[in-house]
Chains A and B, each alone.
Chain A
């Protein structure tokens, strides 16, 4: 007999009528859940093409009944300068990533592979910060950046990006899994420690760096409140903050135009996610298991 694949349920369970009904109900619930996840995307899309009166009508229509108004997209594109805000977000993301890999990577490598004396105490210095809730020092953090003269500069994001104990732990755990012998061999061949890090450890940790990139990106992409405190200049807001300030809290902006902007903003990440979903899912799992 061939061993069939099974989960909690076996084929035999589904022959019982009670189990069968429960299973079907469960499937329905899961399908409803999946639809509810896709629904907002479709709503934003269809509403973006309606006339303003149709969006405001009650009960709301799903598909645009009064024709597709493509001019909404153009109006939305001209309403705020999306490319500038997108550029700022990418600017923050890339800087944060460089600092994370550079600063935290070096520190994690040292803690994991270089056997420095007092490594335990130094780790404590980093890791205790995990237990202090960020909200308790939210405002002092802002005042500190002000004291350092970093308000309204991108450095206010880049430098603190290196102060993440969680990311440090993620990197250190990954480095712990790399074989010490490899680095010994490289050292015997005359490689410096810096070479060991940049030439050996970093290329081997591409998977964890990809995972970090997902985390760092989603922070840069999602964070709207902190940038609105730190940045004072229109030309320096990241996308999320700009959307919050000029679209979500805006009054007198037509609902259809609002949806058109939201749709244009949500489209690129969804496309990127769908194209790279295999890698992203794997990366998330790696982060989940290691963290």
Chain B
């Protein structure tokens, strides 16, 4: 079949080539004109910065005196900075915590809420509510919740007694506190997606399973979860991509402190650019992150294809 199809395709291509670029442009003038603004904007505001990043990583960026070429100095700075190691460890810790503390939450609540017969609409709205409030406002509120004399500590001292926890200033608590806050704030949006997927599972599958004697847990395990498996994988990937770049809550709530306990890699990039004013080093860190993530993506792709064979 290939043999017969190939010459035909070639002929088609030759025919098109004979028609000439001019004629193609004429025929599809509007099509290309419509694409032009988007092409320009993507080139100017996405591809240009991406490429420029590589160049800036070899320059000392100075707004007053102009940029000067410094070779690999920026990369040397990165490799000699002990904060970089700390920030990588913190980022991995943050990603892990977000998985352990946060990833399952929307799935569990989606399954639960799908089983609530009345007031389901109100529950959905309530769960989505924090997504509506600007994040900075939530940062302000949670700073007070986590305060040593805030409501959470009041509840702890009242019920358990003892000293209470310094959620923000204790280095072993600070990252956990941030992840808890972010989970609370973000799970609603993910839950709505899961809920839509769960509600689209045909009801008669459960009926059939029940007649066959499957218990409630078996029905969830063998019908509900497999039906939303693809969505779970997608959300997992999105969460890993998101948390590997996380820095906003760390910056707004704690500025990377206490004692660098919440200094993530992305936050260090920001700090190099804003407080240390080494924008070349910040670019170099971006390039390094790009390389590491690309290598990981390639390895993952290879492994997956090996698994397929």
Contact A37 B30 (CB under 8 A): no
B111 lies within 8 A of chain A by Cβ: yes
Contact B34 A110 (CB under 8 A): yes
* A141, closest chain B residue (CB): B49
Contact A285 B116 (CB under 8 A): no
* A128, closest chain B residue (CB): B47
* A258, closest chain B residue (CB): B140
A288 lies within 8 A of chain B by Cβ: yes
A290–B157 Cα gap in the complex (Å)? 48
Contact A109 B34 (CB under 8 A): yes
Contact B154 A58 (CB under 8 A): yes
Q: Chain B 46-61, CB within 8 Å of chain A: the 1/0 string?
A: 1111101100100001
B129 lies within 8 A of chain A by Cβ: yes
B137 lies within 8 A of chain A by Cβ: yes
How distant is B104 from chain A, measured CB to nearest CB, in Å? 13
A240 lies within 8 A of chain B by Cβ: yes
Contact B286 A221 (CB under 8 A): no
Contact A13 B216 (CB under 8 A): yes
B72 lies within 8 A of chain A by Cβ: no
A14–B196 Cα gap in the complex (Å)? 24
B2 lies within 8 A of chain A by Cβ: no
Contact B203 A107 (CB under 8 A): no
Contact B154 A60 (CB under 8 A): yes
Given contacts A107-B38, A133-B293, contact A140 B129 (CB under 8 A): no
Which A residues touch B112, using CB under 8 A? 26, 29-30
* A133, closest chain B residue (CB): B245
Segment touching B, from A69-77, A90-98, A204-212, A269-277: A269-277
A213 lies within 8 A of chain B by Cβ: no
Which A residues touch B307, using CB under 8 A? none
A8 lies within 8 A of chain B by Cβ: yes
Contact B126 A34 (CB under 8 A): yes
Which B residues touch A224, using CB under 8 A? 134-136, 248, 252
B290 lies within 8 A of chain A by Cβ: yes
Which A residues touch B192, using CB under 8 A? 281, 284-285, 288
How distant is B29 from chain A, measured CB to nearest CB, in Å? 9
Which A residues touch B223, using CB under 8 A? 8
Which B residues touch A22, using CB under 8 A? 216
Given contacts A8-B111, A140-B50, A258-B140, contact A269 B132 (CB under 8 A): yes
How distant is B278 from chain A, measured CB to nearest CB, in Å? 10
Which A residues touch B130, using CB under 8 A? 37, 40
By the criterion of a CB under 8 Å from any partner CB, how many residues of chain A are at the interface? 102
B161 lies within 8 A of chain A by Cβ: no
Interface of B is mostly: helix
Given contacts A159-B44, A269-B134, contact A114 B34 (CB under 8 A): yes
**A11-50 CB contacts (< 8 Å) to partner B:** 12-13, 19, 22-23, 26-27, 29-30, 33-34, 36-38, 40-41, 43-44, 47
Given contacts A38-B129, A136-B290, A140-B49, contact A197 B193 (CB under 8 A): no
Partner among B39, B41, B210, B216 whose Cβ is within 8 Å of the Cβ of A159? B41
Contact A137 B111 (CB under 8 A): no
Partner among A129, A270, A289 whose Cβ is within 8 Å of the Cβ of B42? A129
Contact B133 A266 (CB under 8 A): yes
19 new A-B contacts, CB < 8 A, other than A137-B53, A160-B46, are A9-B216, A30-B113, A37-B184, A43-B151, A47-B144, A104-B38, A125-B42, A131-B297, A133-B293, A138-B266, A138-B282, A139-B272, A146-B63, A163-B42, A197-B34, A241-B136, A270-B129, A273-B129, A277-B125
Chain A interface residues toward B at CB < 8 A: 5-10, 12-13, 19, 22-23, 26-27, 29-30, 33-34, 36-38, 40-41, 43-44, 47, 56, 58-60, 99, 102-104, 106-107, 109-111, 114-117, 122, 125-126, 129, 131-144, 146-148, 159-160, 162-163, 165, 168, 192-194, 197, 218, 221-222, 224-225, 229, 239-241, 243-244, 247-248, 255, 258-259, 262, 265-266, 269-270, 273-274, 277, 281, 284-285, 288-289
